[in-house]
Structure 1
Amino acid sequence: MKIAYLDCMSGISGDMTLGALVDAGVDLKAIQAGIDSLGLPDCRLVATEVKKKGFRATSVTVEHEPEHAHRHLHHITEMIDGSDVLTSSQKELAKRIFTRLGKAEAHVHGSTLRQVHFHEVGAVDSIADIVGSAIGWDLLGVERIECSPIPTGHGFVKIAHGRVSIPAPATAELLKGIPIARSDVECELTTPTGAAIVSTIVDQFGHLPPMKIDTIAYGAGDKELETQGNILRLLIGEADESSVADQIWVLETNLDDTSGEIIGHCAQLLGEAGALDVYSSSIQMKKNRPGVKLTVLCWAADVQRLERILFKQTSTIGIRKWLASRHILPREAHDVETQWGTLEGKLATLPDGAQRFSPEYEACRRISEANEVSIQTVYQEATASYLKSRDEQ
């Protein structure tokens, strides 16, 4: 599987995205042809190699005649639909990015998608950045896009509606549900255009996934930062299809004054609330106190809910948490027939293509209790049934 990873150390913007795509080998002439088909006034893309804090990167700038037009979303989508050069997939992606941006602007300003008008992002350069990025991602031909947490910078920025805090209102709206990275840089690192692009195209946010890197590209932003290079790094390669990579959150707390009964009750509540796994470990804490480390694995969407359970149900006053990458084998549900009836299980595929069957505990327990046989006997029967059916195929 061809995969791309966006390393947004210095945030992301439309021009940084275009620069990274061109640096990765996407044909600038093909992007220019798509932009020309929109009917924008004398709009030309110029790619140059620049240095940012000593790092080489490609800068793509949009040169055009001055204009003062403020476009509505339907004006932009009509331009895209009217192109006789853009492919259907490029049109669809560009319109999805603009629609997401329009919804964010409408929400911030208390307007409707039809009525909202774009200021900065309705200008020629922003249209070129978004449509050009849609063309570039389509031509790049990756099957999956992942991205690092997004730094926004801090401080203030001046927009058409006056001076606002960073992230700008539309940027913050677009980044809802996306992990934000801390940054001490006092300027706008992530623009509304950049936020609209990543929130539309990215399949998953987190650390660099397991992959064989083939291409590393760098796109430059226009600002010069004092402490770091203003660049967007794009890594492209092949993901290992023999296993599935994803990211989960690990929550962890140490307890030395909570009874086993309470810990057990809390673990049950955490499981019912959506934790992927809950387990405890015996530890030695300060002042030679024996304690318990309670660990919870969960999806990002469940972190806050599970933290509330930990704080409410135990004596903890602090929870450690971090994002962890994991490799999991592809698996599917698989039933086997036993002398007591059908028994559910899972069939996992190993990296070499071999398969491994695991009976479901609850199914084995249910049959064990109903037929008054040991659960070990049920496990053995289920495994033997699977092996027999496999050998007969």
Structure 2
Amino acid sequence: MKTLYLDCFAGIAGDMFLGALLDLGLDAKEFLHTMEHVVLFPEREGGTGDTHSHDHGHTRHHDHEHPHVRETDPHGHVHGDDILKISVHPGSKAGMAGIKVSVANLEDHPHRGLGDVLAIIGASPLSPKVKERASKAFRLLAEAEAKVHGTSPEEVHFHEVGAIDSIADIIGAFVLVEMAGVERVVCSPLNVGSGTVKCAHGVLPVPAPATLELLEGLPVYAEGSPMERVTPTGALLVKCLADEFGPLPAGRVLASGRGLGDRESDIPNLLRAVLVETPDNGEEDRFRRDRGVVLETNIDDMNPQYYGPVMQMLFAEGALDVWATPMIMKKGRPAVTLSCLCLPEKEEELAAILLRETTTLGLRKYPVDRLKTDHEIVERETSWGMVRFKVARLGGEVLRANPEFEDVRRLSREFGIPLPEMRERLLGDFLL
């Protein structure tokens, strides 16, 4: 399986994404050929205006001219003399080379709405998958802008949805993902930056309001000198493409690429893309996968009676598992390693419980990858009444079914049957 990993240690913008994917070794001429048939906007009388891009923090660099990308209207007429530029640059002062992509000589059309953009996508010769993704992306972007401006997505003007270069970025991104044969996208947490950004509505804090709407539900942090590191277009692409978030997945590296932004920073202003061949032997269908965090600490000075209540508190607050391991610490003192497995979003809450409710002064944490069966709780009528069973499957095959312990204990007390025997009788009813 081809998996694309996006390393957003310095953020992400639309042009950086295009540059990073082209730097994987994709055919630039094929990409330009595809894009030249995409309808952007029909020719308008008058001179060329400035392009107002939403990619504030990663300003575009117009360098050497490359093959023209001509516009056609929905009737197939050719218009304009607009240019999609692709150029290789030596990189930032950190010495990181990569690809820059820019769109030049494009007029701004401030009164175009979401319907116009969707019509452009629908009239294009793009593949059904690219059309679907691009249409979904612009709807999400219009919804975010509409929420910020207190209006409806249909009333959002085109300059609020994105300038023409942003349209080229968004459609071009989905074209390149398809060209690369990407089947899954994994993304690192997003470095959104800090400070303020100037836009049509004045000076706004980073992340800008529309960007912040699009970042909802995504893992973020802020690092480095103040600047906008994740643009609305960048946040939108991650929102639409990322299947999961985490570190570089295990597999064989096929290619790597870097897409450069213009502004200098203490962190190299680039997006790194890595194409990885991950196992594709049916393993993804057999296992459920996620990532967890293990919190643990060594304790040698706490009353043993306190461990039970602490473990119950951790479970009550969402721990996936809690366990205690006897050990010998320095100076031969007996101690206990108290460990807690949780999902990343529960990490801080559970860490606070461990620090508050035990005598420890600090914790260790480390991420873990989890492979799980596909399991569910099903209710089944038995000779003893309705009982819940936990059923585990692997690749569709039922591995085992166990009655829930609380149900076994309840029925054992009710009918005066020992727990082991009650369990076996219930399993016999389940298998009938």
Q: Partner residue of 1:326? A: 369
Matches within 5 A, 1:289-308: 292-303=336-347, 306=350
CA deviation after TM superposition for structure 1 residue 237, in Å: 1.9
C-alpha separation in 1, matches of 2:86 and 2:37: 16
SS at 2:35 equivalent: helix
* In the alignment, structure 1 residue 113 sits paired with structure 2 residue 153: yes
CA deviation after TM superposition for structure 1 residue 220, in Å: 2.1
Answer yes or no: is the 8 Å Cα contact 1:18–1:132 preserved in 2.
Answer: yes
Aligned counterpart in structure 2 of residue 140 of structure 1, from 156, 180, 184 = 180
* In the alignment, structure 1 residue 28 sits paired with structure 2 residue 31: yes
Answer yes or no: is the 8 Å Cα contact 2:256–2:275 preserved in 1.
Answer: yes
SS at 1:224 equivalent: coil
Q: Partner residue of 2:308? A: 264
CA deviation after TM superposition for structure 1 residue 124, in Å: 1.0
SS at 1:239 equivalent: coil
* In the alignment, structure 1 residue 102 sits paired with structure 2 residue 142: yes
Cα pair distance change 1:308/1:30, threshold 3 Å: farther
* In the alignment, structure 1 residue 278 sits paired with structure 2 residue 278: no
Q: Partner residue of 2:60? A: none
Q: Deviations over 1:25-75 (max 9, x none)?
A: 153135413534664654432222222233332221112334352543233
* In the alignment, structure 1 residue 50 sits paired with structure 2 residue 53: no
CA deviation after TM superposition for structure 1 residue 13, in Å: 0.5
* In the alignment, structure 1 residue 15 sits paired with structure 2 residue 12: no
User: Which stretch of structure 1 is more off in the superposition, 101-110 or 200-209?
Assistant: 101-110
Answer yes or no: is the 8 Å Cα contact 1:31–1:136 preserved in 2.
Answer: no
Q: Which runs of 5+ in 2 are unaligned?
A: 43-70, 72-79
* In the alignment, structure 1 residue 180 sits paired with structure 2 residue 220: yes
Q: Partner residue of 1:87? A: 127
SS at 1:199 equivalent: helix
Answer yes or no: is the 8 Å Cα contact 2:190–2:220 preserved in 1.
Answer: yes
Matches within 5 A, 1:1-393: 1-24=1-24, 25=26, 27-36=30-39, 39=42, 42-52=81-91, 53-67=94-108, 69-81=110-122, 83-119=123-159, 122-239=162-279, 241-242=282-283, 243-252=287-296, 259-282=303-326, 292-303=336-347, 306=350, 321=365, 324-332=367-375, 344=389, 347=392, 349=394, 357=400, 359=402, 362=405, 366=409, 372=417, 375=420
Letter in 1 for 2:183: E
SS at 1:228 equivalent: coil
C-alpha separation in 2, matches of 1:109 and 1:311: 43
C-alpha separation in 2, matches of 1:290 and 1:114: 67
User: Which stretch of structure 1 is more off in the superposition, 218-227 or 365-374?
Assistant: 365-374
C-alpha separation in 2, matches of 1:221 and 1:360: 57
User: Which stretch of structure 1 is more off in the superposition, 139-148 or 258-267?
Assistant: 258-267
CA deviation after TM superposition for structure 1 residue 188, in Å: 1.7
Letter in 2 for 1:33: E
Q: TM-score, normalised by structure 1?
A: 0.78
Q: TM-score, normalised by structure 2?
A: 0.72
User: Which stretch of structure 1 is more off in the superposition, 176-185 or 326-335?
Assistant: 326-335
C-alpha separation in 1, matches of 2:199 and 2:329: 52
Cα pair distance change 1:33/1:170, threshold 3 Å: same
Answer yes or no: is the 8 Å Cα contact 2:298–2:336 preserved in 1.
Answer: yes
Q: Deviations over 1:200-242 (max 9, x none)?
A: 2111111112222222222222333344252332323223542
Answer yes or no: is the 8 Å Cα contact 1:209–1:245 preserved in 2.
Answer: no
Letter in 2 for 1:46: K
CA deviation after TM superposition for structure 1 residue 293, in Å: 4.5
CA deviation after TM superposition for structure 1 residue 99, in Å: 1.9
Identity between Structure 1 and Structure 2 (%): 35
User: Which stretch of structure 1 is more off in the superposition, 196-205 or 270-279?
Assistant: 270-279
C-alpha separation in 2, matches of 1:106 and 1:287: 64
C-alpha separation in 1, matches of 2:206 and 2:179: 33
CA deviation after TM superposition for structure 1 residue 288, in Å: 9.0
Q: Deviations over 1:69-127 (max 9, x none)?
A: 2543233223222x231233212211221222222222233333233335475211111
Letter in 2 for 1:57: G
